[in-house]
Structure 1
């Protein structure tokens, strides 16, 4: 088999990796909430594909729980049509009690609220 046959599909969502992007989220970001979750958004068509970061602190639970939440959110966002831009997702400690379906519903609500906020006006 050729190398191309083993290639993985391109990432539809990337991670926020540089300090400047985090500074921009802090400075220009619009924060939206949905129950126990929140999201800071910087709508920017030049950031394509969208870049996502997670702020899940120790209060949420042990490392296994926090990493599981990150993996779930990454899978949920990867399956959604996320507009171009920078995103920082976080939440309260009770976020760890949500099921996959509940996380999916809340993430969709956050993205919808972000699109209707001043971030996209």
Structure 2
């Protein structure tokens, strides 16, 4: 009987979903605008989560040219994330699709003729 319980416990442990990992990347603001909010979602999911700002940073605004470390929960083996930003004076968010957070530790996020572009390094 104990053997069956042990086998069942092992099977259930293997069936548990993968836990999210804390990850980050450095956002370089090349948009020409002040960013007031950054959100991250698994690419194409539309399930936005605000970045995990350190408590001492408060509601810091990211000015043009600033670097900012975005903290988020990596979802299993997923590497590509959509990044949504809201700007000061404009509540319309802009989305950068498919940033590869596994491949790039830094991203130069820009607006080129109003089109979101990102160059990862």
- Using the size of structure 1 for normalisation, the TM-score is 0.32
Structure of greater Rg? 2
More helix by share: 1
More strand by share: 2
**Structure showing greater relative contact order (alpha-carbon pairs closer than 8 Å, 6 or more residues apart):** 1
